[in-house]
Structure formats: structure tokens, C-alpha cells
Structure 1
Amino acid sequence: MRDDQPRRQGMDYWKGPHSKIISATPGFEEYRQIHLAESNPGLWPAVSGVETAIPVDRRIDGIAEVTFKSVFSPLSGRKQTKLAYKDEVNVFRRTLLYMGPPNSARWYKVAGPGDKAGSRALIFIRKRENVGTGAFRKIVTNRLVPALAGDGGLKELRTQVFMSWRRGLWDTPNVAHDNPADQRFHASLMLGFADADALRAFFEGDAVAKVSAKLPAFASAVHAYEVDEALTYVEDGKTLQDYRS
């Protein structure tokens, strides 16, 4: 968020006027805003050789999570994207665009009928330089997901593995887009829990402890953010009259 105005003012503008611009973009399958808690030192317990404490100067306030109907959908939204470009300066100080190729985002069915996530954590992972993208994707899909989902307490699980970050893909005017190579991320996970107590218990539990022992082999940083709100504006290709939390 911009730091020359109250954070709450920026978050409310993003939730309100800015969301209406983005929601009107053709070609969306889903559009969510993930608002992160203002105080976020890092939920993941300390691991030797892995950065789990979130640096204050690179701490994220939130993410816009967009899923397209097809690979051609971004072309149909160019007119609305121009409006989003102009409006970003009203709310954001820095924005970074991470993209994934088709089928690189996965939504897992981990909740029972009627179950709903009452609390969430968003995790960003930075891979080690000696780990290739293909190998990293397999680690996330075949090792990390089963280890975390095996706990049985998750109400939501989503993963994304990103393409290499490139400057200029989302170069909005008068907004910073600096993203040094040693600060970039390569994957994210969204974990949902019944409530805040279940979230805390998860990060103090055996599943995270077992994963932590293996992290140094493939990850240089794991930043686990506590989520304040997950707001859905477009769902199944349809724009909602009001956001759904």
C-alpha cells in the first residue's frame, strides 16, 4: 500500500473502487483479493538456513489472485486493463506480477461438504538457485502438498508455481516494480483452516515440523502470512453483485 496515507484507507479503496475496475475485466474465471494482516512477522517456525522471518521492507499487504478462462483471455481484457493501470497509483506503492503457465495452479478438494475456511495462511516459497524449475514443481506437487494435506485439518488448499519473473509485464506508471533476483518467489500456497486456533495448531504441529526438516534442500525462503480477508469478486466466470468472503 502507499505509505503517504493510512493503510486502512488504501485497503478500503482496493476493496471498493479498484475492485470494480478489475471485476469488469472480460475473460476472468475467478478474481479474489487476499488481504494480509498488518502485523506479519512470519507464521513458519525458524529453520536453519531458510529465511522464515518476513523482512519489514519487503512485507506484502495483499495479493490480487486472478484465474483466466483460457490462455487468450488476457487479450480480451486489454481495454479494462488500461483503466487498472491508471488507477493503481491511487492505492499502491509497489506491485509485482507473478504469472503461471496453464495448469500450474491447482485447487485441491480437502474440505468436506459445508466446510468453510474461517482462517487462512498464504505461503510464498523462494527456491534455491541450484534447484531447477521442473524439479521444484515436482517437489511442491508430489512432496510438499501431500505432507501438508496429510494433517487432515485443511479446509482449503491451493498451489501456484510461477514462471520466471520478468520486469515490464505489469509496468504501471508512478508505482514501484523493483524485484531483485534474491527477493523473488517461485511458488505460493494458500492454506485454509476452520478457525485461528486451528491455524496456530497447524504451524506448531508435526506436519510443519517434518516439512521444515526438508526445506533447506530446496528452499531459501518460506514466508507464511496470516490472512485477514479472502474476498471473491468473480466466481465461475460470473461477476458477483458484492464480494463474497
Structure 2
Amino acid sequence: MAVTRPYTKKPFASSILLWMRTDRPRQQGMDYWKGPHSKIISATPGFDEYRQLHLEATGPGLWPATDGVETAIPADRRIDGVAEVTFAPVLAPLRGRKQTRLAYKDEVNVFRRTLLYAGPPNSARWYDVARPGERVGARVLVYLRRRNGVRTRDFRRHVDELARTLADTGDLRELRTQVFMPWNEKLWDTPNVAHDNPPDQRFHAALLLGFADPAARAAFLTSPELERLSAALAPSASAVHAYEVSDALTFVKEGKALQHHQR
């Protein structure tokens, strides 16, 4: 009988969804993000981890079609990348305000839209699903939109149940979840960059799924088991957008800025 592997951390985490400027080649923006911009962010005190998730530029979405659920990613809202920020102590964001102001000023050099999603302390879950020595060779980043009329508490419970089930499959090498507080532009109201986020486009939770390799990822995403899980999720979620992660780069790890990013 499968036993749910416990999560190893309940970190204080936030995610910044990013869209590259369209007046220059997309790859140029992605390179600037992982180059000069990453150095500004990595110097911020109080981080436990800073990681960039680079997303594939095309594709309708990897989640299986599910009745009543939007699984096709709208082209005009397709995310280019996500900055994952995990703080050490709860008050760490206050320590990094000076460096954050530098990041504010630099955003316009690379991004056209940025949206910060945050959860209260201990609302994120990092599950211990990898055995010693196992590495992640492929990832999927999934964003969930809560269905109208579903209470936040019930939605959070459904996300937690989904995560525990996923942890028990034995298919994953990485599993991280976040349930977000209501989105508030004032949390990340940077100058000269768009922050438009209509209510019907907002997200309420995220899952990061890691696999041994692309073949294992593809097998999972086309499995009958995932179809069943998605159908069970449909009463709570009106949209499930699943992105292929083309690169995951860590710049700060265990509270220390790295000389060179790690994959």
C-alpha cells in the first residue's frame, strides 16, 4: 500500500509571473533575465532560494482536456517565465527593500508585464518525492484557477488532496505546491511595466511537477490516472494551465548566492 511521502518544507514563498517585452527577440529578453537581472535579484538579503523557471514559448498547454475546464493556454496571456522566491525568516522581505527597488527599476529593461502571487507563511508545500541521487530531467508548471462559488478553504483542501495523490504515484522527482492569497497589485506595483490582471484571468494555486526525463513526463500527462485526477478537480477549478519548463535555474540556494547558477 502506498504511503504519502511527507513534505520536507512549508516555506514562505512567492512567485512573479513574467512576460518579456515584444519589441525585441524573446530569447534576448530571456538571456537578460538570467544574466544582468538575476545578479540584482540574487543580491537581495533574506532569500532562502531564488530560482527562475523558463517556459516554452509555444504550445496549447500540456494538461489533458477536461470537461468544463479551460486547459488551452490563451496566446495573449501565455507566460514566458516565473521567478520563484523563497524567504528565510518571515520578515525577510523587509530586509531586502533597498535591493528590491533596484529590481523595480530594471524590470522595464526586460519585461512588459509582471504579476506577483504570494501566499501566507507556511502555505506552500515542498514534498519529498525523490530518492537519494535522483535528479529532475523534465518539469511541468501548472496554474489553477478557482471556480466561482468555491470557497477558498475548500479549494485549498482539494489542492492538498491532489498533491498528496500525486506524491503517492511514484512518478515524480519534484513536487511543490502554492495556494495564493487574493491577488493585489500593490504588492508588486513596479513602474513602467504592466500589471493588468482581470479577475477572470487570475490564478489561485500552482503545482510544479518534476520527472526523471521528458519520456516520463509525457507518459504521466497522457495517463488515464491523470485524466481521473483532472475530472475530480473539475468541480473546484475552472482552468488548469500546464506549461513545459524548458529550464530551471537556481541562483540562491540555502540562503547563499551561487557564483554560477545551477540546473
TM-score by structure 1 length?
Answer: 0.98
Q: 2:86 aligns with which of 64, 67, 82?
A: 67
Q: 1:117 aligns with which of 136, 143, 158?
A: 136
2:211 is equivalent to residue 193 of structure 1 = yes
Higher strand share: 2
Equivalent position amino acid for 1:116 in 2: R
Which residue number in structure 2 is paired with residue 14 of structure 1?
33
After superposition, the C-alpha distances for 1:210-243 in whole angstroms (9 at most, x for unaligned) are: 1122122100000000000010001110111110
Task: Give distance in 2, aligned partners of 1:102 and 1:40.
Answer: 34
Q: After alignment, is 129-138 or 191-200 more displaced?
A: 129-138
2:186 is equivalent to residue 168 of structure 1 = yes
Residue 41 of structure 1 and its aligned partner are, at CA, apart by: 1.2
Q: Do 2:249 and 2:261's aligned partners in 1 also have CA atoms closer than 8 Å? A: yes
2:240 is equivalent to residue 240 of structure 1 = no
Q: 2:237 aligns with which of 208, 219, 230?
A: 219
Q: Do 2:67 and 2:231's aligned partners in 1 also have CA atoms closer than 8 Å? A: no
After superposition, the C-alpha distances for 1:145-164 in whole angstroms (9 at most, x for unaligned) are: 12222321100000000000
Equivalent position amino acid for 1:230 in 2: A
2:218 is equivalent to residue 207 of structure 1 = no
2:122 is equivalent to residue 95 of structure 1 = no
Aligned residue pairs total: 244
Task: Give distance in 1, aligned partners of 2:256 and 2:40.
Answer: 15
2:151 is equivalent to residue 139 of structure 1 = no
Task: Give distance in 2, aligned partners of 1:54 and 1:147.
Answer: 25
Q: Do 2:88 and 2:255's aligned partners in 1 also have CA atoms closer than 8 Å? A: yes
Which residue number in structure 1 is paired with residue 195 of structure 2?
177
After superposition, the C-alpha distances for 1:85-108 in whole angstroms (9 at most, x for unaligned) are: 000000001000000110111100
Q: Do 1:151 and 1:207's aligned partners in 2 also have CA atoms closer than 8 Å? A: no
Give the secondary-structure state (helix, strand or coil) at the position aligned to 1:93: strand
Task: Give distance in 1, aligned partners of 2:163 and 2:186.
Answer: 32
Give the secondary-structure state (helix, strand or coil) at the position aligned to 2:32: helix
Give the secondary-structure state (helix, strand or coil) at the position aligned to 2:118: coil
Q: Do 1:147 and 1:207's aligned partners in 2 also have CA atoms closer than 8 Å? A: no
TM-score by structure 2 length?
Answer: 0.91
Equivalent position amino acid for 1:187 in 2: A
Equivalent position amino acid for 1:190 in 2: L
Q: Do 2:158 and 2:233's aligned partners in 1 also have CA atoms closer than 8 Å? A: no
2:104 is equivalent to residue 85 of structure 1 = yes
Task: Give distance in 1, aligned partners of 2:119 and 2:191.
Answer: 24
Residue 131 of structure 1 and its aligned partner are, at CA, apart by: 1.1
Equivalent position amino acid for 1:225 in 2: Y
| Identical columns (%) | 67
For structure 2, list consecutive stretches of 5 or more residues without a partner in the other structure: 1-19
Task: Give distance in 2, aligned partners of 1:146 and 1:31.
Answer: 25
Residue 133 of structure 1 and its aligned partner are, at CA, apart by: 1.3
Which residue number in structure 2 is paired with residue 40 of structure 1?
59
Residue 191 of structure 1 and its aligned partner are, at CA, apart by: 0.3
